[in-house]
A and B are shown apart, each in its own frame.
Chain A
Amino acid sequence: MQANHIYIAFETILIKEVRRFTRIWLQTLVPPAITIGLYFLIFGNLIGGRIGQMGGYNYVDFIVPGLIMMAVIQNAYANVSSSFFSNKFQRCIEEILVSPVPNYIILLGFVAGGMARGVAVGLIVTAMSFFFTSLHIEHVFLTLLVVLLTSMVFSLAGFINALYANTFDDISIIPTFVLTPLIYLGGVFYSIELLPSFGQWISALNPVLYMVNTFRYGILGTSDVNIVWALFMLVVFSAGLFAVALYLLRKGTGLRQ
């Protein structure tokens, strides 16, 4: 396929994905804004005022980066898993599979769609945070890089989930039983310095911890983890999941008989 045709195909999938989540904005963009807004209000302002300082910052300032990252992770994952599975379920994925679009473009198109929703929700939540605190971003480039890499990792994970899924239940199991515990135990609400050494060691195995802390470092300039190591892990996760997703797509897992 010629390079310009490949680009047009990628752009077509991306536009279709963005059109989908903006068409159903009441289901995709508003709920995370309300949920995270409630977190800001209850944990940040009401309870946070009694907690005092965390990691050297007001509690509300400490949790804002984690909550933004939580919204990015959940929405990037949900967008790709639900959209790709819906395409499978309605069989409209066949539109792409019978066309000459290469597998890696199909993957990139859906992942870019997931990243677009992750970033869009991240921006909405960031804008909402200004009602509760005044954010000053310490490292703008790093902050953007972490958001993009994190949303890519979870879009890829959502894609793999959708490939294997046979029912709508199959795409809700991972977010409920894997993603949510990883996020809540990934240092969104607390610094791992509060944990005993064994708890810190267990937390170090949680990839979300690195994402949240690198993002927090980008905004506040403080982190529980080594930033270079965290970025390296994000790149390795992205590359590894991309390779797995592409392999499954080429193999036709869940798509071709």
Chain B
Amino acid sequence: MQTIDPRNAISIRGLTKTYANGFQALKGIDLDVKENDFFALLGPNGAGKSTIIGIISTLVRASSGTIQVFGQNVATHVYETKLSLGIVPQEINFSQFEKVGDIVITQAGYYGLRGELAKQRAEKYLRKLDLWEKRDNRSRMLSGGMKRRLMIARALVHEPRLLILDEPTAGVDIELRRSMWEFLQELNRNGTTIILTTHYLEEAESLCRNIAIINQGQIVENTSMRKLLDKLARQTLIFDTCDELKTLPAFNDSDIQCNAIDSHSFEVSLSTSRDINGLYATLSDQGVLIKGMRNKTNRLEELFLSSLKS
């Protein structure tokens, strides 16, 4: 078993969980998340992500293993570890009949904050998440995206050092998702460690520095985002042209394969280890004017699927 660095935000060792119905959700998880990291925990449905979060938050009891939050065991230092934690669950779990402001202020009370301080904190985070105008509305009147933001505001009201978000942008429209990304990045820059589970791999690639992939209760990949992306052997780039393509560009290189898509676009497949400056030079020489370029598939998506298969 690996030694534990007490500076880690989270250290998990030998974590297993078998539910009452016999389903083994976790089969010996070892995981470290460094302080101030922006960490992605990815995996297909039922892989064990929410079980890990449930055990960290004490809603689920581990069958065996230990979890330390900032060097303190969650089983023995309940108060200290819970004070450091903010949890944003996957499912909406606030009262549908209470007012938005009351939900956040009440949560502050559970952490020993009262009166003006609780109100100030509630205002601060409701404003940051664009919910201040809705503070007197019943929570059931909020849209799906607003409900998710309310759960983030509620999780932040005691200003935890570690924020865990279980699919926070599920069902949230693109514009709102981007604004939530910016907010989370700002939080992380200000020192909050963030652990994120998500199905949007683009989200993990954009936000997270380190990543673990879990499948069938086991960690199958645990590395930095950069190293993981470097594992991709080939990439396919799509080029959009300014003018109609009469003939497909020719590349005198066996590593490069080129295929037409339509009259104004084509795709080029090549090794990830090489630079793409030469492609532009070749295209310029052949008089092909490029309007835009993009990856054909999400790179992380390819790696995610190959990790699960292997």
Q: Which residues of B contact A86 (CB under 8 A)?
A: 95
Known contacts: A8-B114, A16-B106. The answer to whether A95 contacts B94 by CB under 8 A is yes
Asked whether B82 lies within 8 Å of A100 as measured between CB atoms, the reply is: yes
**B46 sits at the interface (CB 8 A):** no
Known contacts: A12-B106, A16-B106, A98-B58. The answer to whether A2 contacts B94 by CB under 8 A is no
Asked whether B93 lies within 8 Å of A252 as measured between CB atoms, the reply is: no
Known contacts: A97-B59, A256-B61. The answer to whether A92 contacts B94 by CB under 8 A is yes
Interface flags for B99-127 (1: CB within 8 Å of A; 0: not) read 00010001101111110000000000000
Q: Which chain B residue has the least Cβ–Cβ distance from A101?
A: B110
Q: Within residues 179 to 237 of chain A, which ones have a CB less than 8 A from any CB in chain B?
A: none
Majority SS at the chain B contact face: loop
Q: How large is the interface on B (under 10, 10 to 19, 20 to 34, 35 or more residues)?
A: 20 to 34
Q: Within residues 43 to 95 of chain A, which ones have a CB less than 8 A from any CB in chain B?
A: 86-87, 90-92, 94-95
Q: Within residues 1 to 24 of chain A, which ones have a CB less than 8 A from any CB in chain B?
A: 1-2, 4-6, 8-9, 11-13, 15-16, 19-20, 23
Kindly provide the distance from the CB of A64 to the nearest chain B CB, expressed in whole angstroms: 35
Asked whether A5 lies within 8 Å of B93 as measured between CB atoms, the reply is: no
Instruction: Specify which of B93, B102, B113 lies most central, judged by the most chain A CB atoms within 10 Å of its CB.
Output: B93
Asked whether B78 lies within 8 Å of A100 as measured between CB atoms, the reply is: yes
Instruction: Specify which of A9, A95, A252 lies most central, judged by the most chain B CB atoms within 10 Å of its CB.
Output: A95
Q: How far is it, in angstroms, between the C-alpha of A122 and the C-alpha of B96 when the chains are bound?
A: 29
Asked whether A98 lies within 8 Å of B94 as measured between CB atoms, the reply is: no
Q: How far is it, in angstroms, between the C-alpha of A222 and the C-alpha of B203 when the chains are bound?
A: 74
Q: How far is it, in angstroms, between the C-alpha of A100 and the C-alpha of B78 when the chains are bound?
A: 7
Interface flags for A95-121 (1: CB within 8 Å of B; 0: not) read 111111100000000000000000000
Q: How far is it, in angstroms, between the C-alpha of A9 and the C-alpha of B83 when the chains are bound?
A: 13
Asked whether A95 lies within 8 Å of B112 as measured between CB atoms, the reply is: no
Q: How far is it, in angstroms, between the C-alpha of A180 and the C-alpha of B96 when the chains are bound?
A: 31
Number of A-B pairs whose CB atoms are under 8 Å? 84
Q: Which of B84-92, B212-220, B232-240 lies at the binding interface? A: B84-92
Asked whether A5 lies within 8 Å of B111 as measured between CB atoms, the reply is: yes
Choose one: A9, A11, A23, A257; the contact of B60 (CB below 8 Å): A257
**B57 sits at the interface (CB 8 A):** yes
Choose one: A20, A90, A94, A99; the contact of B111 (CB below 8 Å): A99
Interface flags for B38-60 (1: CB within 8 Å of A; 0: not) read 00000000000000001001111
Q: Which chain B residue has the least Cβ–Cβ distance from A97?
A: B59
Asked whether B60 lies within 8 Å of A256 as measured between CB atoms, the reply is: yes
Known contacts: A90-B96, A91-B93. The answer to whether A4 contacts B60 by CB under 8 A is no
**B19 sits at the interface (CB 8 A):** yes
Asked whether B110 lies within 8 Å of A92 as measured between CB atoms, the reply is: no
Kindly provide the distance from the CB of B199 to the nearest chain A CB, expressed in whole angstroms: 21
Q: Which residues of A contact B59 (CB under 8 A)?
A: 94, 97-98, 256-257
* Further pairs besides A90-B94, A100-B78: 5, Cβ < 8 Å: A9-B109, A91-B92, A91-B93, A98-B57, A257-B60
Q: Which residues of A line the B interface, CB within 8 A?
A: 1-2, 4-6, 8-9, 11-13, 15-16, 19-20, 23, 86-87, 90-92, 94-101, 252, 256-257
Q: Which 6 A-B pairs have the closest CB atoms?
A: A5-B112, A12-B109, A99-B110, A91-B93, A100-B82, A100-B79
